[in-house]
Amino acid sequence: MAKLRLTLACGPYDRTQALRDGTVRPDGIELTYLARQPAEIFWRMLQYQEFDVAEMSLSNFATLVSRGDPPFVGLPVFPSRGFRHGYIFIHTDSGIRQPADLAGKRGGVPEYSQTAAVYIRGLLQHDYGVPPTSIEWVQGRADRLEHPLPPDLRLQHAPPGVQLNDLLDRREIDFLITANNPVSFRRGLPHIQRLFPDYKAREQDYYRRTRIFPIMHLVVIRRDVYERDPWVALSLYQAFCAAKERCYRLLEETGSLKATLAWLQPALEEEKALLGPDWWPYGLEASRPAIEALLQYAWEQGLLYRPVAPEELFAPSTLRDIPLGEGQFV
């Protein structure tokens, strides 16, 4: 019997490389891996549903689920995760010295519904008492997805062609939350600094307290593909887990370093000591604290049409976590 041909659009990650090069093959599926940057994938998937399987913004997908009849079905596979304390940048002339000083200021955000921004606003509200409605927001780009907003939120769009980095540099905004380091910071401009210079220590403390390792992206299957062949969900989930395990094995072969880091071995030891032997977990239960936090923050911030339970995001056959060692190498 011929294998089912499916396209997968996903970033070029080490944890998915075995799917890209064919070392791991999903059972019953001939997978064509299209390596693209997430922003392009999200736009093409949300606007045109171009791919059979794709990486997807967790916050955008949660909004679709809350709206009802989503065009995609999720897998508890998380190709992009990241702590976010280090992605709040301030202008040093703004008078911002601590999180409480953000209240009453103008803050930039690439897209209000961006998953990284949802997590950052959530930790600012819950850990530091700064609600999103206390800030005047400037959004840098058009929305990828229509979504609700609370009526008391102050949000305006940056002028066409104007970059948030330039607004921060000129102090037309006081701070910027984002998913990447702004150009002015990368260039070393002294008046652009992190709100939390000690962000790594804060992120580690945050994880110890909350068990939240923030999830940025999941993997989704186009609903028509899933409804025609529901077995693909578990087959793909198992294959993603197997690819990640292969990545782990390669990274841990430190006789010849597989990543371009001089101190890769101590980095791995530190991560496993804090996060556990499966330090980049897939699966609902292993990641429940992060998923529940995102859904709570998105609801509080007005981005959902109704509260969403974590189980609603994923295909029923994938709700059981796959422990390390159960990944099937094909």
Mean residue pLDDT of the chain comes to: 96
In angstroms, the first-to-last Cα distance of the chain is 17
Query: Residue 328's pLDDT is what?
Result: 56
Task: Check if the beta carbon of residue 4 is closer than 8 Å to that of residue 229.
Answer: yes
Confidence bin at 43 (pLDDT 50/70/90):
very high
Mean pLDDT of 54-75: 98
Give the CATH number of domain 4-81+214-245+284-318; options: 3.30.930.10, 1.10.10.10, 3.40.190.10, 3.90.550.10. Answer: 3.40.190.10
Q: What is the pLDDT of residue 330?
A: 39
User: Considering the domain 85-210, what is its CATH architecture?
Assistant: 3-Layer(aba) Sandwich (3.40)
Q: Residue 329: pLDDT above 70? A: no
Ramachandran angles phi, psi of 110, nearest 5°? -55, -45
Query: Of all residues in the chain, what percent carry a pLDDT higher than 90?
Result: 97
Query: Looking at the chain, which residues constitute the CATH 3.40.190.10 domain(s)?
Result: 4-81+214-245+284-318, 85-210
pLDDT at 57: 98
What pLDDT shows up at residue 99? 98
d(CA 104, CA 102): 6
Q: pLDDT tens digits, residue range 260-277?
A: 999 999 999 999 999 999
The amino acid that residue 176 corresponds to is L
Q: How confident is the model at residue 325 (pLDDT cuts 50, 70, 90)?
A: confident
Confidence band for 232, pLDDT divided at 50, 70 and 90: very high
Residue 327 confidence class, pLDDT cut points 50, 70, 90: low
Look at residue 54 and tell me whether its pLDDT is greater than 70: yes
Q: Is 303 helix (H, G, I), strand (E, B) or coil?
A: coil
